[in-house]
A and B are shown apart, each in its own frame.
Chain A
Amino acid sequence: MGDVIKVGMADLNVCKSPNIITTLGLGSCIGIAVYDSVTKIGGLAHIMLPDSTQIRNNSNKAKFADTGIEELIKRVTAAGASKARLKAKIAGGAKMFEVNGLSDVGNIGARNAEASKAKLRELGIPVIAEDTGLNFGRTVELHCETGEFYIKSVGKPLKII
């Protein structure tokens, strides 16, 4: 068992086998894991919002799906992963409160998931598994030895995708 690297909200990092990279309690945010199975190098981003171009204060790249994913790919390829071999797995994007009011609290999770997939598609990185939506939080771990993506939720069995 290797070390565990922790990624915070609006944050990202890279990880190599045998280490594990994790982010705790994804709600409406998305955890985007990318992984190269040959070099066993991966990375994880914890994004909060779909689109940096809609926001004036957008200097924190890891906060947004578009700039966050770009930065994540840059970091994992700099660490030695091959962009052509990268595969992505994503989780999160829940609707934490059953609101149907004015604000976008009800649909921000779905928009985050959609924006993340669109950006990955644009970069030619296949999303091979996802666990998004519904109404509960998720803690995720990318195990860089195997490429397995562990998803833990309150009162639910461990899910590995």
Chain B
Amino acid sequence: MTETLLSVRDLKVSYQVGKGSIDAVDGASFDVPRGSIVGLVGESGCGKTTVARALTRVIADNASITGGQILFDGQDIAALPEREMNALRWRDIAFIPQSAMNSLDPVYTVEYQLNEVLRRRGGLGRRQARARCEELFEMVGIEAGRLGDYPHQFSGGMRQRVAIALALALNPKLVIADEPVTALDVIVQRQILDQLRELQSMLGISVILVTHDISVVAYVCDRTVVMYAGRIAEAGPMDAVLMEPSHPYTMGLRNAFPDLKGAASGVLTPIEGAPPNLAFPPPGCRFAPRCPFAVETCTTQQPALGMVAPDHRVSCHRADEAAKLRQEAARTETWLADA
């Protein structure tokens, strides 16, 4: 588990908007160990999807990677020529989008689309491709008899399974899944997550799971990276980050989530305010305006991503007081007083 497959170093992605530019991702660093599922969590607009897309280098026309490195198997793919990057996509790095309907062409059968990938990109012959299609469908739990169906003939959950099969077609080393279960009902969501976990351990691949739901992270991930306003707030082993959060934002997220197994009388506590406008980010820590523990340094100085425990990094000026802050953060009044 210690060997690193992907290492993102100080990644910056900017969007050109009119004459100005917005740094949607501003210096993100994290690692993906081989054979692990890493959850990339955050609210809408925090840059998690931009990071995920930057890793495949399929980003919007007005966006560009303006700094940092993406070391995949030791090779910096941020600097790779487009032609070589294209060869890497799907074969080594595959993508599962949020809505499978968007990645499947409605006018072709599923088998045709799988074949396209297997024969064009994978160089398989007709026989081999057919066998691989059946194998893939068996892997994701759909009968091979449905290979000839069109995307609209599948239910939402089935379509997501097809999208997983499509992503796994060429045995990638890394799969990036962007909110793969957000649009699904709880039961289907659970079945897809079980499938993903099973395939991941069976094939020994690494998965980056982009989500806004820390319950999903708690269910399947080995590691967690929490993003806020384009930066990494906290990153580390999943249970350490969720059970002993060291960044006030992670503590706040924990309070805001309903827990079905918890006490009935528990009160949910919102984080007051809204994420900053990235065109005019606040100086210092970006969470400071909403943070109940902010001190003067927080509003002037940008915190660095520092180690609080082996393999557990946090970007907070008061990270060394984390234990004390956790106790205070558990009280609802802490979050209301500063509103």
Does B bind A? no
